[in-house]
């Protein structure tokens, strides 16, 4: 590929004429001046080539995609479906002579932009980047915790020192020096993994940008080959990062004061001992399968919902205190269920097998709850006019955001909160800064769910389910007479929508395009005032919770 400020026209240069190109052909991999582009477009062999602007070409100029066989040096022109391998003209007779499904690469790469492999690559890059950012945050937090522990230990040493005479000055200095050296060693180990994670983050950001540009502007063959090559690169980086994280340790600084110090004995020769306890860091690095074959398959999007079935896995009853009012529930990263108890100032945590883990006191009567990331959740408090962002391990409040109106429902997507005010959706960042307002096409929004680039919500007045883009542009609306007072919704990996009807006592699934629906559960299946429905994409499970605390977990088949 040419590079630099000016790109010469390839055909003109072949005729020993120097002329600047105005466009770039990704198939021919050369620049074209205006005259040559017209000829190029009229030619039968090149009229279907992808010609892009030089500005777009600059975005993929340095994206390294090899179209040459690494074994024979010939162009990669064939693809073996049986072995999922790209081949050159020499590879075919030498190793794939008996294969009956060797086809031209141009045929197989026609749908490469919609292939599962490319979709998985983008998802893997995004998820890995989020994982690395989360690990960086975890290590930074661990480093700060070491510093806090160092202060605690230092304070304890100094307070003890005040109780004894000057004879122990030398021992005190010795211990504090040991503390400093030990703390420095621990932080140095944290810094090493942080540097690795920062390096991985930069690589992933670059790879994400290159993948996006490749998808938009490269030729089909380049997208096909690039997807495979980038998959190898991302797999290697994931393996390396997981290896680094697997050996990472957390340290905790403590001090053990010598028992004889209190007796002021001259026999004491040390002030105490700095102890470091190690435990696995529990860094959560989730990934998804990226080894999808590229045999002309597209991203799966079920055209109908007739084959979806539910199989009961577990049913259990929440421990009753006073009146039960379970109006919100989420799935924590550890697989536990966390529910809001509207009648009491507490959240309830249960395992997915029904074991009661703990009750967490909160500042008010919680209504709705949503997951932000691996470490944070957001809780709304209805008429109390505020919501809280808190750590989902310690449940310490990280930020309390005041609201102008009563807020019931909330959802999170890409660092933004989508808060429901009757017939309006307020978008804000995690600091509470107002970003925009979306006027809902509903008189009263009963529930909301964001997923990737879409917002799903229900109108409790008309019993309609609506879908729009994140900017508020309506995509479809669906009305089902069998749904009475839609209380909660969730979506699966294909954007099929699951709705629980509070009054109709049922569960309905609506097709991803809003063109069809089907009742999956009714009152005869045990539905009695259902208030919450959640879909776990990692496990393909669905759980439904009733107002009175009955929880049922289903396998979605």
DSSP one-letter string for 162-222: TTS-GGGHHHHHHHHHHHHHHHHHHHHHHHHHHHHHHHHHHHHHHHHHHHHHHHHHS-HHH
Q: CA-CA distance, 416 to 470, in Å (whole number)?
A: 11
Question: Measuring CA to CA, how many Å separate 442 from each of 197, 438, 464?
Answer: 45, 11, 8
Helix (H, G, I), strand (E, B) or coil at 427: strand
Q: Is 533 exposed, middle or buried (0-12, 13-18, 19+ CB in 10 A)?
A: buried
pLDDT of residue 141: 84
Average pLDDT along the chain: 84
| CATH architecture label of 310-556 | 6 Propeller (2.120)
| CATH architecture label of 10-60 | 2-Layer Sandwich (3.30)
Q: CA-CA distance, 381 to 378, in Å (whole number)?
A: 10
**What count of Cα atoms within 13 Å lies in the side-chain half-sphere of residue 525?**
19
pLDDT of residue 2: 43
What average pLDDT does this structure show over 45-73? 82
Q: Give the whole-number percent of the chain exceeding pLDDT 70.
A: 89
Q: Residues 29-57: pLDDT tens digits?
A: 889 998 899 889 888 888 888 888 888 88
**30 within 8 A of 19, measured Cβ to Cβ:** no
Q: Residues 188-231: pLDDT tens digits?
A: 999 998 998 999 899 899 989 988 998 888 888 888 898 989 89
Tokens of 523: 């009152």
Tokens of 553: 């977990």
Ranking 71-85, 242-256, 273-287 by mean pLDDT, the lowest is: 273-287
Number of helices (H) and strands (E), helices first, in the chain? 8, 32
DSSP E strand stretches across 8-99: 23-25, 30-32, 51-53, 76-80, 85-88
Helix (H, G, I), strand (E, B) or coil at 11: helix
Three state DSSP letters for 459-503? ECCCCEEEEEECCCCEEEEEECCCCCCEEEEEECCCCCEEEEECC
Q: Is the pLDDT of residue 429 over 60?
A: yes
**274 within 8 A of 176, measured Cβ to Cβ:** no
């Amino acid at each position: 590929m040419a590079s630099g400020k000016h790109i010469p026209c390839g055909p003109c240069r072949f005729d020993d004429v120097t002329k600047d190109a105005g466009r770039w052909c990704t198939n021919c991999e050369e620049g074209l001046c205006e005259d040559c582009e017209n000829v190029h477009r009229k030619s039968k062999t090149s009229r279907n080539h992808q010609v892009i602007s030089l500005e777009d070409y600059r975005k993929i100029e340095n994206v390294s995609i090899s179209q040459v066989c690494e074994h024979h040096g010939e162009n990669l022109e064939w693809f073996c479906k049986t072995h999922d391998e790209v081949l050159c003209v020499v590879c075919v007779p030498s190793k794939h002579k008996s294969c009956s499904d060797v086809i031209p690469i141009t045929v197989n790469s026609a749908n490469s932009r919609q292939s599962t492999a490319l979709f998985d690559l983008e998802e893997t890059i995004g998820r890995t980047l989020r994982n690395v950012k989360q690990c960086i945050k975890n290590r930074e937090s661990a480093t700060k915790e070491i510093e806090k522990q160092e202060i605690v230990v230092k304070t304890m040493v100094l307070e003890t020192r005040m109780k004894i005479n000057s004879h122990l000055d030398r021992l005190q200095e010795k211990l504090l020096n040991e503390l400093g050296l030990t703390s420095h060693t621990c932080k140095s180990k944290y810094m090493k993994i942080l540097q690795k994670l920062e390096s991985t983050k930069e690589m992933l950001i670059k790879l994400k940008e290159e993948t996006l540009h490749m998808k938009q502007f490269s030729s089909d063959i380049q997208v096909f080959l690039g997807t495979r090559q980038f998959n190898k690169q991302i797999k290697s980086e994931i393996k390396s990062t997981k290896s680094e994280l697997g050996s990472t340790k957390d340290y905790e600084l403590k001090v053990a004061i010598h028992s004889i110090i209190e007796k002021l004995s001259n026999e004491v020769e040390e002030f105490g001992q700095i102890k470091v306890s190690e435990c696995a860091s529990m860094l959560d690095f989730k990934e998804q399968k990226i080894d999808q074959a590229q045999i002309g398959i597209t991203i799966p999007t079920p055209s109908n919902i007739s084959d979806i079935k539910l199989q009961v896995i577990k049913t259990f009853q929440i421990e009753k205190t006073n009146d039960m009012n379970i109006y919100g529930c989420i799935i924590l990263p550890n697989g536990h269920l966390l529910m809001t108890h509207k009648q009491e100032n507490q959240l309830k945590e249960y395992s997915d097998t029904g074991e009661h883990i703990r009750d967490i006191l909160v500042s008010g009567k919680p209504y709705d709850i949503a997951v932000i990331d691996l470490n944070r959740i957001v809780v709304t408090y209805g008429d109390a006019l505020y919501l809280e962002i808190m750590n989902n391990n310690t449940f310490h409040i990280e930020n309390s955001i005041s609201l102008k109106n009563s807020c019931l429902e909330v959802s999170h997507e890409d660092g933004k909160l989508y808060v429901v005010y009757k017939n309006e959706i307020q978008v804000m960042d995690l600091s509470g800064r107002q970003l925009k307002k979306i006027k809902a096409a509903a008189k009263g929004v009963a529930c909301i769910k964001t997923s990737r680039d879409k917002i799903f919500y229900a109108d409790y007045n008309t019993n309609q389910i609506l879908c729009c883009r994140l900017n508020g542009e309506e995509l479809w609306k669906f009305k089902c007479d069998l749904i009475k007072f839609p209380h909660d919704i969730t979506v699966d990996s294909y954007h099929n929508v699951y709705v629980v009807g509070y009054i109709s006592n049922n569960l309905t699934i609506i097709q991803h395009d809003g063109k069809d629906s089907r009742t999956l559960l009714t009152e005869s299946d045990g539905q009695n005032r259902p208030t919450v429905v959640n879909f776990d994409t990692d496990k393909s499970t669905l759980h439904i919770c009733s107002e009175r605390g009955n929880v049922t977990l289903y396998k979605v088949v």
